[in-house]
Structures are given as structure tokens and as C-alpha cells.
Structure 1
Amino acid sequence: MIDKHGLLSAPIGRVLFNMSFPNLIGILTIYGGSLIDTFFISQLGTDALTAVSFTFPVAVVFASIAIGIGAAVSTNLARLIGAGHHDKAKNFLFDALLLTFLLVSVLVSLGIMAIDPLFTLMGANEKTLPLIHDYMLIWFISAPLLVLLMVGNQGIRATGDTRSPAIIMSVAAIINLVLDPFLIFGIGPFPRLEIQGAAIATLVSWVVSFTVSVYILVFKKQILEMMSLCKLRIKKNWKTLGHIARPAALMNMLNPIANGVILAMLARADQAAVAAYGAGIRLETLFIVVTMAMTSSLMPFVGQNLGAGQHKRAKEGMLLALRFAFVFQSLMYIPILLSGESIAKLFSSDPLVIDWLSFYIQVLPAAYGWLAIVIMFATCLNAYHRPLKSLVINVIRLFGLMLPLAALGMYLGGVKGLLIAIPVTNVIMGIACYIMACRITEHPSVKYTNNNSNGNSGSDSGVTNSADSVI
């Protein structure tokens, strides 16, 4: 087997850097575009910014499905590639994308029918509900493209290529950035569509990027091709996919559910706090962008090395990444703290929104180093084929700690008390996750077939999975 990207043999630090840097550029571009999108929408007023903030948990539900299926695609493809089963990898990716399309299409249909009751339940009022309806109708139509794009990009990353997905996401961000002001404000020959314009710009960007992703998978990587609909093969691959995808998707869907609960708490206290929290969530993604970039690199690195039987190298890479991310995110808190109010003023002219967003920026990033450990370790557990452990960690973090502490904080200190509960939760879980990472070992019943066969023999997935063991 050719180790083109050096995942199995090159120095660990250099490999992770070479893989993470393109990821960093791509994520910076896409989330930078998202922040600019938020900035343009904020110019329409507090109601528009609040409306988009309410839509965030629903958007993250679809992203969570993509992350869950993508995690299963990434770790299984990486193991198959690491073990030399390239034909089986093609079959697996096709079947995974087929399941993705069918699942998301059903959810889109349900989502369109439930827009008004869902967001009313979350606390949207008569001012924001019509804006949410205008935005989400278009967003739901474009959602299948987003999810397929994210899963396809994980297939590319599984080969060790992080540059191509970065380019794809950068293209999406640039198209969205260029179209936003024209469609939102009606510049030149374009009509003034306001919040609908932002959704249309996003739709166009995903259409183009999805096309580029399919081209790379089919023609450059030659890891995707049309397959016959073999019921037995599809059933086996979906079962293998589901072993990681179900708990991973559920794990990621817990985050928007928890955010939805927090938004509901805030909505009953202060609508300006809702707008600030929505902007803060988007800022948070940018603040932890290095962590996100390294997390995307760890999946194929750990997966390929485990597939090749190099367990010690996989663990060394994981621990190195955890330590680096903790130190980096902790140091990043200093410039974030010093520029909190200036950043907040970019997103609103409403004094109340500025006050709440400034407080968010001052408090939550203090624990981003510990949050980085939680995110990266939970992701690595998928590569170790222990998705249930990853799910349990997130359930404990969100529903065992964060929401009870947020409710207590709201009772004792209002909005500020609620926000303080979030970094406290991340510190507790970060310490626990680092201890578990130091103790993790490869499950003895996960078998690897480390040869250069064309995939016509051995098990269908290249690995044999059993129930998760205790870490």
C-alpha cells in the first residue's frame, strides 16, 4: 500500500501540521464567511439577527447528521485504506452517500411542515417568526446539498488529502460572501431580498461546492462510482456505518438541543440576550478554529494507523494534538479578552446586545482549552470504534452538567449566571477527558487485515467490531 500522505510513517507532528493547515484555511474561510453573513444580517436590525439566531439549533441538527455519518465514513474508509481494501472503500462510500440522501430528504420534508410550531416552541415571537419562515424555507431546500457535501469531504479526508476539502469549502464561502450583499440589500440589478437573500446566497454556494466535491471523489481520487443496488451489500455497509454514525450523529444533535433549551431560557429573560448568544455561537466556532482543523485531521490519522496495526503511533498522535490544542486555545484567550467589546460592536448597534455579547466573549473563551480536549477526544473515540463512549461523554457534559448548572445560574444570577455555567462545565469535562485519553488502549477484539488485496476476501468492512469496552 502506498502511504502517499505519510500518515503511517512520517513524523507525527509534521503529518498533523501538514493535514491541519489546509483544514485551518478552509474552516477559517467558511466560518469567516458565516460571520460576515451574520454581520450583513445584523445590519437589517435586531429582529433579523434574533431570527437567524433561533434557526441555528435546527441548522446544527442537519450538520450533526452530516458529522455523524461523516465520522463513520472517515474512520471506516481510513481503516479500509490503511488495510489496503480500496474496492471495499468505494462500495462503502457509495452506500453511505445513498443513506445520507434518503435520510436528509425525509427530515427536510418534516422540517418544512414544522417551521411555525417548532420555532414558536423555542420562543420566537410575532416579530421574528415571519423572518424565520422566510429564511428556513429556502434553507431546508438546500440542506441535502450541505449534508452530502460534508460527508463527501470526509471521504476525501479519509485518503489523507485535507487540501481539497479546504478548497471546496473556501469556494463555498467566497461565493456566499460575494452574493450576500447583493441579494440581502438589493445592490445593482438584484432585488432587495433581505433575510431570504442570505439563504439564497447559501444555496448557490452549496450547489457549486457540491459539484466540485463530486468531481474530486469520482475523477481525482477515484473513490466513488455508481454501484448496483445490491441489497445484501447495502445492508452490511449500512450496518457498519450505523455502528458509528448513529451514536455520533446523536451526540452532535445533543448540542443543538441543548442550545435550543438555552435559547428558550434566554428568550424568556431577554430577546437581546438571544441575539447575542446566536452571534456568540458563531464567534465561538471561529475562536476554536484551530481545534476544529486538528480534529478533522485526527480522524484519518488515527483511523489509518489503527487500520495498519500501529496502535502506539495512533495514541501518540492523539495526545500530541490534545496538548497542543489546550495550550493554543488557552493562550488565545488573552487577545480575545482584550478585544471583546470591539468585536461585539461589529455585530450590533443595540446597547443591550453589545453588553451581552461582550460578556459572552469575556467569559466563555476562558475554558476553550478544556473544550478543545473534549471535542478532540470524543472524535478520536469514533476512530477507536467506541462511539457509545463518545455519546456518553456528550450526554454527561450537556445534560448532566451544563443544563442543570445553566438553570441554577439563571436562578441565582440571571443571564450572566447562565453563561458562566458553560465554561465551568467545559473545565470539568476537559479534565475528565484528558485522563481517559491517557488511559485509552485499542480494543483487543478489533481485527485488522493489513494487506494489499483488492478487497475480495475477508470481512466486508475490513474490521470486526464488538461492543465497546471500558476505557
Structure 2
Amino acid sequence: MMTDRNSRLIEGPIPKTLIMLTIPMIFGTISMIIFNLTDTFFVGQLGTGQLAAMSFTFPVVLFVNNLAHAVAIGASAVISHSIGEGNRNKVKRLTTDSIVLSLLLVGFIVPIGLLTINPLFHFLGASLEIITYIREYMVIWYLGLVFIVVPMVGTNAIRAAGDTKTPAFIMMFAAGANIILDPILIFGIGPVPRLEIAGAAMATVIARALTLIMSLYFLYYNERMLSFDIPSLNSILVSWIQILYIGLPNAGAMIITPLAAGFITRIVATYGSDAVAGFGIATRMDSFALIVIMALASVVGPFIGQNWGAGKFDRIKSGTKFSYRFSLIWGLIMFIVFAFLGGTVGSIFSDDPEVISVTGLYLSIVPIGYGLYGIVAISTSAMSVLKKPIHAAILTLTQAFILYIPMAYVGSLLIGLWGVFLALPVSYLVSSIVAIYTLNRIIMYREKTVKRVIDQKIIQMEA
């Protein structure tokens, strides 16, 4: 099980290993961006109101996705470490128990989500008309949440084994299904009725349901990472504690991001629905521009986890340094691209001059911080795998609530939307400096701890 990939992560050339792991994830991440942009494009054809509704749902959808992703990160971290140790039975137990934990998470979120749609989006600044559109979308989305959460955990477990091709294939398949289903269900084709924004939600749920089937199939038949043995309650609890030790702080950190997005959306909403629509388009372009960086950050975790399990800290240090340099170079490239093309992006999704103007303004300012964002993302991923998730959470909290939101609020008062958008790259500049320093200290601490344990074992053997 996983022998060839495992040896590649702990023995292969570091730049080549990280790049070869990242490339499939780039295509997978592109697929997910296309997935979201497809929804935005087709819903945008319905009108500015529906497009604004999609923009309002973004922070909430991100919030729920991040909760699930936190469990996935916790699972991936402990699974990759166990793989590095060579403990196959523990890998199977942790993978299976993480899937069960994800089902419990769905059971907790769905009823709360359905009951809070109206008051939550009213708080975020949506009008009654927009909330009507939002409700059409979110009711279906919540009811299909199991198809979103479980595959997220499953594909992260596959990635922990050093297989990035399978998760990428699953994501590409989902995007393809969504592209086909969106126009059929939104506008109605043949016998299918016109469902409008509800159709976008239904297309998402159906496409994600297919990924649930695929992820469980690959986990069981290809990776042999699932177990149908009935464990003791104590065994399950031990697994959940290990996963949640990393997952809960990550959940807190990931909740921070959509909460911050919600506050920023509320600030932008004071400039009107057109500004919110333009802001929503621009933030989705963020995701597109950061594809490569996020793909790299997603594979840094398994790389560090397996090398930590194998006690190879020199590879961890070299891998993080390479990732930082790569992130800065890619961020610079994207800044140059948007400096030339950012002004025309909004016109692809809307013909409203104000929507186009806000989109262009955002993309002329924020991309300068892309590479710095990558450093923060890579560092927090590494901290979590090295079992310092609280450090990662504090870093995320500082960037969002201590730096970004206060600066955006003050900037809005002083220079309008310019100030709101400029606050983001400035917050990443400060955060990236703190991230590099903190991660270096954590790696040094882990290295000394492992060396101390090895020395003690040698002394005991000699005695």
C-alpha cells in the first residue's frame, strides 16, 4: 500500500517531488474554480439580483466548506504522519474514523443552516428581494451537504498517501458534470423545468454526489485505506481526538476567513448591490489566480507529514524554502497579468458599468499580495501537520481581525473602496513575515524533540 509514492515523498528530489505532486492538483483546483465560475456565469445571465445573491452566499458556503476542510486537514495530517512511520493499520483506522466524523459534522450543520438562512443574510446586508433568491439556493445546498463534506475528507486522505492524481481526477469529473447540468437545470432544456438559481444549487449537489461515490471507491479499492472492522469506542475516540486536535484549531482558523469575508462584504454592501456583485466576481478571480499556490500548499502538508514521520527534517526545511520562493514568483506573475487584463474581467460576467468598475479596481490592487498570501498558506499548512495548529489559527486570526478588517474599515472611511481593497495585501505582508519566523522555530523544536527521543533510545539500548 502506497509504497512507491511514500518513498518518493521521503527520498525523491525535493523540487521535482513537490512540482510533480502539485501539477495534478493544479488541474484539480482549476476544475473547482471552473465549477464555481460556471455557477457565477450562468446565474449572472438571470440578472444582477441573482448574481448579488450568489455573492452573498459565498462567505457562508466558504464557512461551511472550511469547517469540513478542517476535519480533512486534521485527517490528512495524522494519516500522512502514520504513513511516514509505516503503520498501515493505523492509517486504515484513521481514514475510516475520519469519514464517520465527517458524517457527524453534516448532521450538526444542516439543521442549524436551514434555520438561520433569513436572519444570517439579513445581518450580512442582503435586501428582502435578494434573500428570496438566496433561500432558493441555500435550502437545496444544505440538504445536499453530505455530498460535499464526505468527498472533501476522502480526497484529502488519498492526498495524504502521496496520490494527487486521483483527487484531481475526481475534481475534474465534478466540474465537467456541473458544466453540463448548470444550463439544463438553471434555464430548463427539453422536459427539464426552468429552476433558475435553485437549478445552480441542484447541479452542484448532483455533481458532488458523484464525487462521493468515486472518493469512497478509490479509498477502498485502490488505496486500501478503509476498514470495515468494528472498532472499540475507545479506538474511535482516540482517532477523533488526534484528528480534532489538529482539525478544531484549523476549523477556528478557517471560520475566520469567511467571517472576515462577511464583514468585508458588509462594508462593500454600503456602496450598493452593484459593488457587491463586482466584489464577488473579483474574489472568484482571486481563486483562479491562486490556483498554483493553493495546489502547492495542499501538497506541502503530506510532504512534511511523511518526512516528519520518517525523521527527515532537512527535507522539510528545504521543501518549505522552495515553496516560499515559488509562491513569490507566481504571485508576481499574476500581479503582472491582472495589471494588464484586470479591467476587462468584469465585462465577462456582467454588462453593468459599476460592476465592471469595482471588479477592475479590486484586481488592480489586491494581486500585489498574492505571493505573500502563499507564504501564509504554506506556513499554516506546515504548522498544522507539525501539530502546532493553534499557532496556525493565531496567525490567521491576526491577519484577518487584527490587521485586515480594521484597516479595511478605516480605509473605507478615508479613501472608499480603494482603502478596503488595499488593506488585504498590507495585512498579508505583515502576516508573511510572522509566518516565516514562527514556522522556522517550530521545525527547530520538532527536530530537537525527535533527536532527543532517538538519543534516549540509544542510551537505553546501550544500557
TM bracket, shorter-chain basis: over 0.9
Partners of 1:279 and 1:225 in 2: CA distance: 43
Structure 2 partner of 1:238 = 240
* 1:79-118 alignment runs, 5 A limit: 79-118=81-120
Partners of 1:449 and 1:46 in 2: CA distance: 61
Aligned residue for 2:228, secondary structure, equals coil
Contact 1:307–1:448 (CA under 8 A) maintained in structure 2? no
Cα offset for 1:38? 0.7
Structure 2 partner of 1:222 = 224
Partners of 2:185 and 2:28 in 1: CA distance: 24
Query: Could you tell me which of 270, 273, 293 is aligned with 1:271?
Result: 273
Moved more, 391-400 or 225-234: 225-234
Match of 1:127, as an amino acid? E
Contact 2:383–2:439 (CA under 8 A) maintained in structure 1? no
Moved more, 224-233 or 436-445: 436-445
> Is 1:169 equivalent to 2:196 in the alignment?
no
Partners of 1:91 and 1:21 in 2: CA distance: 29
> Is 1:143 equivalent to 2:150 in the alignment?
no
Cα offset for 1:434? 2.8
Moved more, 183-192 or 380-389: 183-192
Structure 2 partner of 1:4 = 4
Match of 1:115, as an amino acid? I
Partners of 1:219 and 1:246 in 2: CA distance: 30
Partners of 1:254 and 1:426 in 2: CA distance: 15
Partners of 1:279 and 1:80 in 2: CA distance: 41
Contact 1:409–1:417 (CA under 8 A) maintained in structure 2? yes
Identity level (%)? 34
Structure 2 partner of 1:289 = 291
Partners of 2:215 and 2:197 in 1: CA distance: 27
How many residues matched?
Answer: 450
Cα offset for 1:18? 1.0
> Is 1:317 equivalent to 2:319 in the alignment?
yes
> Is 1:17 equivalent to 2:3 in the alignment?
no
Q: 5+ residue gaps in structure 2? A: 455-463
Partners of 1:43 and 1:449 in 2: CA distance: 62
Contact 1:266–1:273 (CA under 8 A) maintained in structure 2? yes
Structure 1 partner of 2:435 = 433
Contact 2:18–2:296 (CA under 8 A) maintained in structure 1? yes
Query: Could you tell me which of 126, 129, 152 is aligned with 2:154?
Result: 152
Aligned residue for 1:8, secondary structure, equals helix
Match of 2:4, as an amino acid? K
Cα offset for 1:432? 2.6
Contact 2:297–2:374 (CA under 8 A) maintained in structure 1? no
Aligned residue for 2:416, secondary structure, equals helix
Aligned residue for 2:144, secondary structure, equals helix
Residues 166-201 of structure 1: CA deviation (Å, up to 9, x unaligned):
000111000001111111111233211110110011
Partners of 2:438 and 2:149 in 1: CA distance: 31
Structure 2 partner of 1:50 = 52
Structure 1 partner of 2:460 = none
Higher RCO (Cα < 8 Å, 6 or more apart): 1
Match of 2:400, as an amino acid? L
Partners of 1:271 and 1:427 in 2: CA distance: 30
Match of 2:427, as an amino acid? T
Structure 1 partner of 2:31 = 29
Residues 236-280 of structure 1: CA deviation (Å, up to 9, x unaligned):
111111110000111011000011111111222322111112122
Cα offset for 1:431? 2.6
Structure 2 partner of 1:195 = 197
Match of 1:121, as an amino acid? F
* 1:114-125 alignment runs, 5 A limit: 114-125=116-127
Contact 1:27–1:166 (CA under 8 A) maintained in structure 2? yes
Query: Once superposed, what is the RMSD of the aligned Cα atoms?
Result: 1.7
Partners of 1:86 and 1:113 in 2: CA distance: 42
Contact 1:325–1:369 (CA under 8 A) maintained in structure 2? yes
Cα offset for 1:447? 9.1
Cα offset for 1:438? 4.4
Residues 297-343 of structure 1: CA deviation (Å, up to 9, x unaligned):
11111000000000111121111111111111112211121011221
Query: Could you tell me which of 348, 362, 368 is aligned with 2:350?
Result: 348
Contact 2:311–2:450 (CA under 8 A) maintained in structure 1? no
Partners of 1:300 and 1:441 in 2: CA distance: 19
Aligned residue for 2:191, secondary structure, equals coil
Structure 1 partner of 2:413 = 411
Partners of 1:331 and 1:425 in 2: CA distance: 20
Moved more, 265-274 or 85-94: 265-274
Structure 2 partner of 1:261 = 263
Partners of 1:446 and 1:148 in 2: CA distance: 34
Moved more, 171-180 or 64-73: 64-73
Cα offset for 1:229? 4.6
